[in-house]
A = this chain, B = another copy of it.
Amino acid sequence: MNSESMKLEIYDTTLRDGAQAEDVSFSVDDKIRIAQKLDELGIHFIEGGWPGANPRDIEFFQMIKAIPLQQAKIVAFGSTRKAGNVAENDPTLQALLAADTRIITIFGKSWPLHVTEALGTTLENNLELIQDSIAYLRSCGKSVFYDAEHFFDGYKADSEYALETVRRAVEGGAERIILCDTNGGTMPWEIEAIWPKVQAICQVPLGIHAHNDAELAVANTLVAVQLGARQVQGTMNGIGERCGNVNLCSVLANLELKMNHPVLGEGRLQHLRNASLFVSEIANLLPNKRQAYIGDAAFAHKGGVHIHAVQKNPLTYEHVPPESVGNRQRVLVSDNTGRSGVAHKLEEYGVTLPRDHPRVQQLLAQLKDRERDGFQFEGAEGSFEIMVREALGTHRPAFSLLGLRVIVEKRDAEEVPRTEATIKVQVGDVIEHTAAVGDGPVNAIDNALRKALEKFYPELREVDLLDYKVRVLAGNHGTESKVRVLIESGDHKAKWGTVGVSENIIEASWQALADSIEYKLLNRDQEAKEPNDG
């Protein structure tokens, strides 16, 4: 084998094992977007789902074929054949083949308890179905990775049988044998004791698939790599069945920064935080702010001793440079650190003005107020820029609102509601009063606002609303809770985000919509003054 093929392989199962996490439900479109993001990050294998077990997964494998990927290979996942079937007629194996991937991962049983109680068959029959399921898929031209489910528990219960399942998978033609700690309860020293026993009987490269039920998945995975594992399986942010799979974000950072395994390729690790947040956003899970390496708090300093020291030398309380994973240092505002904390905030927002300028002081006060109210300007640079211009006195609004009304009504439980928005705006001396319908109240307002403004600003026709996100802010207040709306807009040149916060979702959406339009029109005079620029 050449040195390239000896490299560690990163195998992501966010779209399959990750989808088995509580509260996670991916649409086909979600899966496509995550797959593209993982490919950009430099992941080698992406397990897309279990075709046949789930209608959405069949659609995913269909659609992903049309998407160009840089290097990631899409893998279909499923089980060995059923005990009573022959491989050729087994629906599970047929659904796997129909997914039309070059690589298929199938899992089989290593633990007698599972063979007899879960599968309900004999130990000998289990060995046969492992071997012939793999052999059949190989005969159809597929590469096959074999997930030895519950391998470590199986080994502890009956080491000879567990090893025999591996031998039979190898005989069937598996190209990787992945040792799984499916129940997540194995100790690192058990991995160390068992791993060499498998290596002694198996020439095929091994992989590790760890779960986090004892909060040891990262350690178990790294220990396996040290023992020679070629493939590492895991999920973004560690989402997965029960406590989750091993957190691939932590594994990747440890491999690259601590263990000299540059697995992702030059310059990619610094996109780790972005990729992690992307998956949280799509999964609609709150990011874990204390997550190793990429959490908001991972390089946030609160203790006075710590803040004092990191300002002299970050090494004193930071194990790696935050930028290496796309994160940043933060100093938390507390009783001891008020002033320096505020100074740091200013720099974070990149405001380049003298600090003693009264407008800057005013802006800082406003920023703190808004953040306390629930605003968030990461991802909403459009609203931030408008706020800065307002504070500096350089903002000239494109329109002013004179009135807005939305009506939603339905006559019985079954009827789809009818929605109408009316809007009255003033541009210069001209007042425009108009109305529009929509799929929902925000869509109706959006339609009415554009209808009112496009005659003044035809360039608004170029603007698309690309994404609309709603987050209910913390606090147990039911339908009285504050909501934050983030809108992403774009034209042929750029994308921009805007934000609104209110107890009223219509108001929060209005703020974000209005900012989106204002942002698009910020530089309108400049364009008008350059008629000869062609």
Contacts and interface: CB of A to CB of B under 8 A. Distances in A.
Interface of A: 19-23, 25-27, 29-30, 33, 53-56, 79, 113-114, 117-118, 182-185, 187-189, 212-216, 218-220, 222-223, 226, 238-239, 241-244, 247, 250, 253-254, 258-259, 282, 284, 286, 288-293, 295-306, 308-309, 312-313, 315-320, 332, 334-336, 338, 368, 371-372, 374, 376, 378-379, 400-413, 416-417, 419, 438-443, 446, 464-476, 478-481, 483, 487, 489, 502-507, 509-510, 513-514
Nearest to A27: B474
B441 A507 contact: no
A372 to B, nearest CB: 7
Q: Quick one: copies of this chain in the complex?
A: 2
Counting chain B CB atoms within 10 Å of each CB, which of A22, A117, A185, A315 scores highest?
A22
A258 to B, nearest CB: 6
Contacts of A29: 474-475
Given A214-B319, A471-B284, A301 B242 contact: yes
Contacts of A509: 479
A392 B415 CA distance: 23
A505 B441 contact: yes
Contact of A22 (B54, B306, B332, B465): B332
B371 A25 contact: yes
A470 B468 contact: no
Nearest to A397: B413
B53 A440 contact: no
A371 B371 CA distance: 36
Given A218-B215, A300-B242, A304-B53, A409 B413 contact: no
Contact of A474 (B30, B301, B313): B30
A308 B118 contact: yes
Given A117-B313, A479-B442, A298 B474 contact: no
15 contacts: A23-B289, A25-B378, A29-B475, A113-B315, A187-B222, A214-B250, A242-B290, A284-B471, A403-B410, A404-B411, A406-B407, A440-B502, A466-B476, A467-B476, A470-B471
Contacts of A239: 290
A406 B405 contact: no
Contacts of A481: 467-468
A23 B471 CA distance: 12
B441 A506 contact: yes
A114 B310 CA distance: 10
A378 to B, nearest CB: 6
Given A214-B254, A215-B292, 11 more contacts: A22-B302, A27-B473, A54-B335, A238-B290, A282-B474, A404-B409, A406-B406, A410-B510, A440-B479, A443-B503, A470-B483
A184 B319 contact: yes
Nearest to A300: B22
Given A183-B318, A319-B183, A372-B56, A466 B440 contact: no
A504 B417 contact: yes
A527 to B, nearest CB: 20
A469 B376 CA distance: 18
Q: Which 8 A-B residue pairings sit nearest by Cβ, starting from the closest?
A: A185-B319, A465-B478, A219-B219, A440-B504, A215-B250, A405-B409, A118-B309, A470-B470
B292 A214 contact: yes
Nearest to A511: B413
Contact of A25 (B243, B317, B376): B376
A240 to B, nearest CB: 9
Contact of A336 (B27, B54, B318, B480): B54
B410 A114 contact: no
A403 B411 contact: yes
A22 B378 contact: yes
Contacts of A320: 185
Contacts of A242: 290, 297-301, 317
Contacts of A404: 409-411, 417
